[in-house]
A and B are shown apart, each in its own frame.
Chain A
Amino acid sequence: MGGCFSDVRGGKDAVGGALPRPTEPNAKNDGAHNDAIEFFYREHGAYPLFTQLELSFSASKLLDLDVTSKSDPMVVVYLKKNDGKLEELGRTEVILNNLNPVWIQKVSVAYQFEMVQNLIFRVYDVDTQYHNVPVKTLNLRDQEFLGEGSCVLSEIVTKQNRSLTLTLKGKNGHGGLRNFGTLTVHAEETIASRSAVEIKFRCAHLDNKDLFSKSDPFLRISRTVETGGSIPICKTEVVDNNLNPTWKPLCLSMQQFGSKDTPLVIECFDFNSDGNHVLIGKLQKSVADLEKLFKEKSGVNFFIPSSRADHEKVLKGQLFVDQFCEKEQFSFVDYISSGFELNFMVAVDFTGSNGDPRKPESLHHIDPYGRLNSYQQAITEVGQVIQFYDADKSFPAWGFGGRTANGTVSHCFNLNGNASESEVVGVEGIMAAYANALRNVALSGPTLFGQVVNRAAEIAASSLSSNNNKYYVLLIITDGILTDLQETKDALVRASNLPLSILIVGVGNADFKQMEILDADNGQRLESSTGRIATRDIVQFVPMRDVQSGQISVVQGLLEELPGQFLSYMRSMDIKPLTFNAAAQASTA
């Protein structure tokens, strides 16, 4: 049944209005995210949508298949699943008589960073009646096929202007001698607003609801909905024993509060560890009202709904707004499409505990029939997603714990066997270098990550001299337990204020408990031997064998966190997307 004690401290935490401090682990403050909603989705097996995109289309030089007029084209969008099946995502409208159409109807797609989303676009000439007929009901078998294009969603998102032009091909990819024309796909985030407000609340003269001490107040903010009633959007942390509390600043995105004029219900409760929080008072104000309170430095009284019909008792307790500022919050797609890159680096464990690669039980065994071993699986799954975000697809690849050609054990040797250059091209390049290294490097030990982390940190730090639009992702795949935990902690702490995230995948059957310490998800920040503490939690660890039921792969779970880590770094360093000035002007045009 588990422990019988509730996590009271957990119950006192602020929810929903978290501020992105650089020192706060896992501080996700993307406008579309809310921790509670995310948990909900995960429990139900669905994935929290990172962001919703709308695809719009135009085409040129389409085939003319109508006799007395021109083709009447329509686009159908499919998602190609892992098993090869196509799932229709949506259709545009039909345009009359046009070989260079610009469609109006957009198709929505949920952008999921952690997956490779293969999209197929098919253009049809609609020959049947379509006037007043819903596009969805048109039977494609009755229409004429004009051409097909395909791409991965991340290819569109990483382009400047988020537009990709595809050359259309015939069915099954045969071009033949015919020119099928081109299709241009443009992606726009549905969430148009990037506004957020940061508010610091304070109260004075609150009523005392506790018997032997003072109230432990917290605020809960809800948004009213048209059907009456309200939905909570966030709550502050609990301040113990204080009738004149000040809470940490709350950051609310426009997604959460609607508009500056939407009425918000602000309730002040006295926290009780048994869960029965007592209402101290409530009031209703919009964000615009709160801004006014800040400017005038005035307070507003709470009231309590009375048992008598519509009489409300006005209380002595007041709410003040000590700080109010509006901020702009850019999304992950904003950064990526403006030219920010994710640079992939990989490090492979060459310690003896993996087993002799020639034997089939070895974790490094390369199966002659092509089945990927755990190392190859991890490299492929992470590499295939991240490669689209890396402009030159040139990845440093290292091994550690192996005895190289010159006889010494190295904890950071180039996988490609080259003495000076560690980079390989593409995921295929990593796989080839890995296979090659297995033939030339003897497995040895001990398991030490420190040098690889230092090397990755050097690369991340050096890139800062020329620009700040690169973020680095180091994938470490290991089968075993670290020999020197403190050395690794030191390296991780030193790297924690750089644009770097480290994903560690544990393969094989070892007990990886020690790795979970590095992951710091329990709130314990890593401490180096010199007394320095990690600025951010840059490490994530997952054991490969934790295969959950359902379609999410272990590695996808790791990747999901990346956009959040990227955003928290960029926001804390106050780095904005490269062309945001131009983009802002364009969007208001």
Chain B
Amino acid sequence: MAANSRTLEITVISAENLKLDRKPIKKNSSVTVRPDTNSQICTTEMDTEGGAYPRWNEKLVLDLPAHSRSITVEVQCKTSYGVRTVGTATIPASDFVGGYVPEGYLHFLSYRLRDNRGERNGIINISVRMKVPEIYACSSSTTSSHSRMGFPVAENNNFGGGVATGVPVWYGSYQKKHY
């Protein structure tokens, strides 16, 4: 992991009401995710059965560079004429970073997709979680190791905030970094 970049876990869950040329798409849609710095692209598998309401439930892992301000999610469809873009959504980093929500929170987010003419074309549903960097692992259990501080609480490894040990040190120091 490069210095000053954070790891992002994005689960591409599903999409709704996808159309090409005003008609619902039949199959073979997939999703690409990349930060606005275009440093890395991740793609899901193709959904062959859901048609205009595909489900992927696929987790992608992305390195988000420090100066990146957003990620772009694009739904594509493989047709007999080639791969066509169904719609795109831009997700500002502020939607899953900062604010009052602790790091490591699993954000369920949904966005309006727009096609290349700027018209609305469906919705994309994802979940995003920033992985807490290894050096600060003492305050969180988002990594797979079951290290626990203090008294045992919920048997829930997904959730990074399960230990009430006061204000996590990393949260404040993270805030000082600006994208």
A contact residues vs B (CB 8 Å cutoff): 21-23, 246, 248, 457-458, 461-462, 464-469, 497-498, 525, 527, 530-536, 572-576, 578, 580-581
Contact = CB atoms under 8 A, between A and B. Distances in A.
Contact of A527 (B107, B112, B156, B158): B112
B111 A581 contact: no
B106 to A, nearest CB: 6
Nearest to B139: A465
A467 B166 CA distance: 10
A339 to B, nearest CB: 10
A466 B102 CA distance: 9
B100 A532 contact: no
Interface string B132-145: 00000000000000
Contacts of B110: 23, 525, 532-535
A533 B108 CA distance: 10
B104 to A, nearest CB: 10
A584 B111 CA distance: 39
B41 interface: no
A578 B167 contact: no
A535 B109 contact: yes
Nearest to A469: B154
Contacts of A458: 100
A573 B161 contact: no
29 contacts: A21-B125, A22-B108, A23-B13, A23-B110, A248-B55, A461-B99, A461-B100, A462-B100, A464-B101, A464-B105, A465-B167, A467-B153, A468-B159, A468-B162, A497-B107, A497-B109, A527-B112, A531-B89, A531-B90, A532-B110, A535-B108, A572-B108, A574-B158, A574-B159, A576-B154, A576-B156, A578-B154, A580-B155, A581-B155
Given A22-B127, A464-B105, A527-B112, 13 more contacts: A23-B108, A458-B100, A465-B161, A467-B161, A497-B109, A525-B123, A531-B111, A532-B109, A532-B112, A573-B106, A574-B156, A576-B154, A580-B155
A469 B154 CA distance: 9
A468 B167 CA distance: 15
A525 B109 CA distance: 12
Nearest to A338: B154
Contacts of B162: 467-468
A461 B101 contact: yes
A578 B156 CA distance: 9
Given A465-B171, A466-B164, A468-B154, A573 B159 contact: yes
A269 to B, nearest CB: 20
Contacts of A461: 99-101
A581 B158 CA distance: 17
B58 interface: no
A366 to B, nearest CB: 36
B34 interface: no
A218 to B, nearest CB: 15
User: Most A CB atoms within 10 A — which of B101, B108, B110, B155?
Assistant: B110
Closest 7 CB pairs of A and B: A461-B100, A533-B110, A22-B108, A465-B102, A461-B101, A531-B112, A462-B100
Contacts, number: 84
A575 B112 contact: no
Interface string B151-179: 00111101101101001100100000000
Contacts of A533: 110-112, 123
Contact of B154 (A465, A536, A575): A575
Contacts of B112: 527, 531-533
Contacts of A464: 101-102, 105, 161
User: Most B CB atoms within 10 A — which of A466, A469, A536, A574?
Assistant: A466
B19 interface: no
B156 A497 contact: no
B45 interface: no
Interface string B80-106: 000000000111100100011110011
Contacts of B153: 467, 578
A465 B168 contact: yes
B155 A23 contact: no
B95 A532 contact: yes
Contacts of A534: 110
A465 B89 CA distance: 29
A527 B55 CA distance: 21
B114 A531 contact: yes
A525 to B, nearest CB: 7
A575 B123 contact: no
Contacts of A23: 13-14, 108, 110, 125
Nearest to A467: B164
B161 to A, nearest CB: 5
Contacts of B106: 573
Contact of B161 (A22, A466, A572): A466
Contacts of B155: 576, 580-581
Given A465-B167, A466-B164, A467-B164, A532 B154 contact: no
Contacts of B14: 23
A581 B154 CA distance: 9
Contacts of B127: 22
B92 to A, nearest CB: 7
Contacts of A578: 153-154
User: Most B CB atoms within 10 A — which of A525, A573, A581?
Assistant: A573
A419 B114 CA distance: 44
A201 to B, nearest CB: 12
A533 B125 CA distance: 9
A408 B125 CA distance: 41
Nearest to B127: A22
B114 to A, nearest CB: 7
A81 to B, nearest CB: 39
User: Most B CB atoms within 10 A — which of A22, A534, A572?
Assistant: A22
User: Most A CB atoms within 10 A — which of B153, B164, B167?
Assistant: B153
A497 B108 contact: yes
B130 to A, nearest CB: 14
A374 B101 CA distance: 35
Contacts of B114: 531
A490 to B, nearest CB: 12
A464 B161 CA distance: 6
B109 to A, nearest CB: 6
User: Most B CB atoms within 10 A — which of A246, A530, A534?
Assistant: A530
B156 to A, nearest CB: 6
Contacts of A462: 100
A469 B163 CA distance: 11
A535 B162 CA distance: 23
A458 B112 CA distance: 24
User: Most B CB atoms within 10 A — which of A23, A246, A465, A573?
Assistant: A465
